[in-house]
Structure 1
Amino acid sequence: MKKVVVLGSINMDMVMETDRLPKVGETLLGDTIDYYVGGKGANQAVAAARIGAPVSLIAKIGDDTFGSKVYQHLKQEKIDVEAVSTEKNIFTGVASIFKLKEDNAIVVLPGANMLLNEVDAVINEKTTAQDVFLTQLEIPLETVKKGLALAKEAGAITILNPAPYNESVLEMLPFVDIITPNETEFEGLLGRTLTDPEELEEEMLTWAKTHQTQLIVTRGSQGISYTTANDVVTIPAEKVAVVDTTGAGDTFNGILAACLAQGKTVAEAVRLAGFGATLSVTKLGAQTGMPTAAEIEHFAQ
């Protein structure tokens, strides 16, 4: 059976609700604090597993309380955590998220994530030509590049979510079948700012003619656009009551990978992943709102 292999980060997200951010030197009283398992690797793995795809996660945690909680949580989500290793004398990645009424601000401490280096043997063991390999940029960039190259060599479908953006992505493109930037990250790929939606679609068309890598751009409230051989297709976003946008992009990427592993076309995978991302923003927390296949099917009707 085809599976999704995710190489990426794991964090414990601490979400603190407050009316505003403190000024330098100021102390504020917040409202609430919640703890959620996060990190782009863990988020995308959970999103894929929630809709029924077999998922293996390659990641690293610290030998602390957060690491133990994260590990048990991922097992409960039915993710293969055999390749989630524990690093001694360092903390599990942590993200402090300040949740405001209409936005958020985030500080990330990578911790054990930045020690995820030796992946050759694990990827060779976990990845086959039948699989979909998904990764992001919250771990060492050389590890990302190595992982993509090994997965491509194995014949897997390779997906790169280029977030947080780094210009070294351009060196990875020969190993990437599908790249999934948001609009800002796509501007990073181009090396310039785009002025309007029409220009974005023109640049996407140019991309399709000059690159072998399939381009899918997530555009928030404007929906999702992807390239075909001669065109750009845009799927408008559905209107919902937005509670928290944290993790929407990860939900999209995880479901996209899972749908491709299940044999769906890119068009169908993008449509279903878009529905899943829309559902995810209706609840607080990156993983809390990640839907099941049944919930996506119901929403799509």
Structure 2
Amino acid sequence: MKIVVVGSVNLDLVATAAVLPRPGETVLGESFTTVPGGKGANQAIAAQYAGAEVTFVGAVGEDAFAQQVRDNMAQAGLDLSLLRTEPGPSGVALIAVDDSGENFIVVAPGANSKLTSLTEADRAAIAAADALVMQLEIPLETVQEAAQVARDAGVPVLLNAAPARHLPAELLSLVDVLIVNLIEAQMVLGDKIDSSARRSPSASARGMHAYSLMERLRQIAPKVVLTVGADGAFYADREGTWMQIPAPKIDAVDTTAAGDGFVGAFAVAYTEGKPIAETLAWACAAGAIGATRLGASSSLALREEIDKLAVKP
């Protein structure tokens, strides 16, 4: 099974602290480390670890960070024949993580912003794949171009709309599976961001909020997955299927790559043709495993780990 991931690759600069700073506030940190990451690279490695043969289409800069992230992806087993080098710096993500595992992230895209078109080799790889996985840390025109190539070749398109933004209808019309979290869902829909439901102690209130979003999201994409952290994930499609799968109970350490681990594992299970409930449970297990470890790509789950934790729906 071959999956092509078109997306970003960054070096994550990660600082931990007891609490995250508020605007204008400085807090004393506890530790610092550098970890290869980027949503594209993380999801590619997650899919590779989960059992796919993954080709990565992306760009790094001409700096010391480039070799570090390239080596990391090569060690994970990715096909890097389509990873290009662009003048200037590589992408960097500045990440702060608190004691509960919550985080904030600022991304300086660097070479990722220069991935403005596909080569003929890129197009050929996408057309020959079993699935295409993308995110939004690269130029939107490239995401749309890749989606069109996949659609023309009959290749399923899985889009993780992160970082969140409002998406053009032309792109959404090319997407087979849209994967978002609560904040991303609201931004894709053009809503004012409301995070109060996510923080509600009432599971029913959180569920109703998710349901209302899903009802609207499946009007713009044929299949929609909404991740809701410790509450697991929701799925809905235009055929009327609706379900929620809970996440395994874990002690979160760092949620930075939990979403990417979910997406990579979901892509593998979906492409393998697993029933959707099993696919969601498998992906939730992968995301949960990632949240128990510090770092981005270094936290991603192996297939046997996912199999062990996944709850049979």
Q: Secondary structure at the match of 2:60?
A: strand
Residue 223 of structure 1 pairs with residue 232 of structure 2: yes
Query: Which amino acid is 1:219 matched to?
Result: V
Conserved? CA contact 1:14–1:36, under 8 Å: yes
Shift of 1:205: 3.5
Shift of 1:24: 7.9
Q: 1:33 to 1:119 in 2, by over 3 A?
A: same
The farther-off stretch of 265-274 and 2-11 is: 265-274
Residue 289 of structure 1 pairs with residue 299 of structure 2: yes
Q: Secondary structure at the match of 1:181?
A: strand
Conserved? CA contact 2:6–2:57, under 8 Å: yes
Shift of 1:238: 1.6
Structure 2's unaligned 5+ residue stretches are: 198-204
**2-structure distance, mates of 1:127, 1:98:** 35
**2-structure distance, mates of 1:192, 1:28:** 32
Residue 92 of structure 1 pairs with residue 90 of structure 2: yes
Q: 1:212 to 1:141 in 2, by over 3 A?
A: closer
Q: 1:171 to 1:67 in 2, by over 3 A?
A: same
Shift of 1:127: 1.8
TM-score, normalised via structure 2 length: 0.88
**2-structure distance, mates of 1:233, 1:24:** 38
Shift of 1:104: 2.2
Query: Which amino acid is 2:280 matched to?
Result: V
Query: Residue in 2 aligned with 1:44?
Result: 43
Shift of 1:28: 5.8
Query: Residue in 1 aligned with 2:201?
Result: none
Query: Which amino acid is 1:51 matched to?
Result: A
**2-structure distance, mates of 1:260, 1:234:** 16
**2-structure distance, mates of 1:205, 1:24:** 35
TM-score, normalised via structure 1 length: 0.91
Q: 1:62 to 1:165 in 2, by over 3 A?
A: same
Q: 2:288 aligns with which of 275, 278, 288?
A: 278
Conserved? CA contact 1:3–1:258, under 8 Å: no
Query: Residue in 2 aligned with 1:242?
Result: 252
Shift of 1:33: 1.2
Residue 122 of structure 1 pairs with residue 121 of structure 2: yes
Query: Residue in 1 aligned with 2:65?
Result: 66
Q: Secondary structure at the match of 1:164?
A: coil
The farther-off stretch of 119-128 and 79-88 is: 119-128
**2-structure distance, mates of 1:25, 1:212:** 39
**2-structure distance, mates of 1:276, 1:182:** 16
Q: Percent identity?
A: 36
Q: 1:147 to 1:240 in 2, by over 3 A?
A: same
Q: 1:234 to 1:26 in 2, by over 3 A?
A: closer
> What is the aligned residue count?
298
Shift of 1:23: 7.6
Conserved? CA contact 1:170–1:189, under 8 Å: no
Shift of 1:73: 1.1
Query: Which amino acid is 1:142 matched to?
Result: E
**2-structure distance, mates of 1:234, 1:25:** 39
Query: Residue in 1 aligned with 2:202?
Result: none
Q: 1:179 to 1:18 in 2, by over 3 A?
A: same
Conserved? CA contact 2:58–2:82, under 8 Å: yes
**2-structure distance, mates of 1:241, 1:129:** 40
**1-structure distance, mates of 2:242, 2:105:** 33
Q: Secondary structure at the match of 1:159?
A: strand
The farther-off stretch of 5-14 and 251-260 is: 251-260
Q: Secondary structure at the match of 2:280?
A: helix
1:15-30, aligned counterparts within 5 Å?
15-20=14-19, 29-30=28-29
| Deviation per residue, 1:103-137 (Å, 9 max, x gap) | 32322111000000121413322123651100010
Conserved? CA contact 1:162–1:169, under 8 Å: no
**2-structure distance, mates of 1:107, 1:61:** 18
Structure 1's unaligned 5+ residue stretches are: none
| Deviation per residue, 1:151-187 (Å, 9 max, x gap) | 1111111011001111124431111000001111112
Shift of 1:91: 0.6
Please give the root-mean-square deviation of Cα atoms over the aligned residues, in Å. 2.2
Query: Residue in 2 aligned with 1:300?
Result: 310
**2-structure distance, mates of 1:24, 1:199:** 28
**2-structure distance, mates of 1:38, 1:184:** 21
Conserved? CA contact 2:166–2:189, under 8 Å: no
